[in-house]
Amino acid sequence: MDLVKLRDLHAKDRAAVISMLGDPTVMRFLGPRRALTEDESDLWFKRALANPSRFVIADVNSDEFIGFCGIKEMNGVMDFGYFISAEFWGKGIAAKACELVVEKLATEVDWETVQVFIAEHNVASMRVVEKLGWQVVHSATQDGEYGRYYRITR
């Protein structure tokens, strides 16, 4: 039985998104690598609502917001990523959401052009990509952090 589904971002998700973006544990490997202030989070939410890129991960039964997963253009490169609220960690949700996105975008995306960077200290995300069978392309530094680039395999 599926735990999660993908959907668009809705105004009702605002409080959950702002809470997640303000959590230093969630944000330690994302963006500025720090929790966002409430004003920064609110601006981030408004931009995401107006210009959606990644899918919302939601509970399949309750429709509760869990996080984001998908592809976003960053500095001219298609970047695959996900981030979920800490309360949902360790439940297989990240791997399932990644599978759903890859399946949903299978005919729309050239996966050879999509980058996936996982910082060396992000052990949980490394386990997710290994579980998915994604292949290490090379090691590198991105935004001052050492890690690995992965190729999405289906």
pLDDT of residue 48: 96
With a CB cutoff of 8 Å and minimum separation 6, the contacts of 75 are none
**Residues 122-147, mean pLDDT to the nearest whole number:** 93
Per-residue pLDDT band for 28 (boundaries 50, 70, 90) equals very high
| Cα–Cα distance for residue pair 125/30, rounded to 1 Å | 12
Label residue 94 by pLDDT band (50, 70, 90).
Answer: very high
**What pTM was computed for the model?**
0.94
Average pLDDT taken over every residue of the chain:
94
Report pLDDT for 117.
94
Contact indicator for 150, 132 with CB cutoff of 8 Å: no
Q: Return the higher-pLDDT residue of 103 and 74.
A: 103
CATH superfamily of 4-151: Gcn5-related N-acetyltransferase (GNAT) (3.40.630.30)
User: Across residues 95-120, what is the average pLDDT?
Assistant: 94
Q: What angle do CA 2, 90, 96 make, to 5 degrees?
A: 30
